[in-house]
Amino acid sequence: MRVRDFQGVKVYRSPAPDKRTNKDGSPKEPRRLGKIHFPVFEPRGRRVVGFMVSLPDVVGMIKQPDRFVARDALHIYEGALSVVDEKANFDKAAAKRLGIDLDACVIWTGMDVRTESGEALGYCSDAAFDFKTGAVETLSLTRGATASALLGDVEMPLEMLKGYAQGAMVVSDAAATLDVSGGAAAKAAEVSVKVGAKVKQGAQVLDDKGSVAVEKGSRALGRQLGKTRGMFSAFKSEFKKAAGPAPKKKKR
């Protein structure tokens, strides 16, 4: 499976297995949780441990913090992707059960990629993984949305992944010589284009024609998960501001 297939998918809360039937014998309806925002990889980046789920805004305008949902808790209930509504499947409790430090986990999708020698290879756009175990099989590298459509992506084997450093995915120098595949141009011409001068040149031409603006709107920001927490730190103050000042207590 690919992490891209999960992004934007609605997730529901399903009742515990022993509480899934109403008194009349009909199955209980799942309750909506939110939409999958991005995949979460364990700190070494070699396994998908879960997903961050975007919750509905409070009163339609105030952003709530994303919730972490463990991968092994996801299942199909009443035809919908669901998670059993139990504490051990969410946030810190789920991380403790899985034996991971959630803040040290990484978001590969959208993260800049560079080789050990410092060459920039674009960014990580996707990953193929085994849903049952979470093990990552390949990582997709791209120069940009437009370049991907025309030239294709690089499917990098996991053994070329070296780790995370200074806000970037670090990969083996050999990744710079991998073939790209899947692009419209590559299919039409039945050619294989190297991630090197041709891709760099093609991406630059596309960027000169405006693809940078498109890219800013379509690319997610990959980083260590702990560094994204600040984006929701103002939630409480925003809520109070929207609710207005608290009523003054009358003096007796």
Q: What is the mean pLDDT of residues 209-231?
A: 56
| pLDDT tens profile 154-186 | 899 999 999 999 889 999 999 999 876 644 434
Tell me the per-residue pLDDT of 96-145, one tens digit each, with 9 for 90 and over: 999 999 999 999 999 999 999 999 999 999 999 999 999 999 999 987 55
Q: Which domains does the chain have, with CATH numbers?
A: 3-19+27-105 (2.30.30), 112-225 (2.30.30.240)
pTM attached to this predicted model: 0.73
Distances (CA, A) of 96 to 90, 104, 172, 226, 233: 10, 13, 32, 15, 22
- Average pLDDT for 71-76: 96
Q: Check residues 43 and 203 and name the one with the higher pLDDT.
A: 43
| Residue that the structure tokens 């996801």 belong to | 74
* Residues forming beta bridges with residue 143, ordered by sequence position: none
Say what the pLDDT of residue 209 is: 41
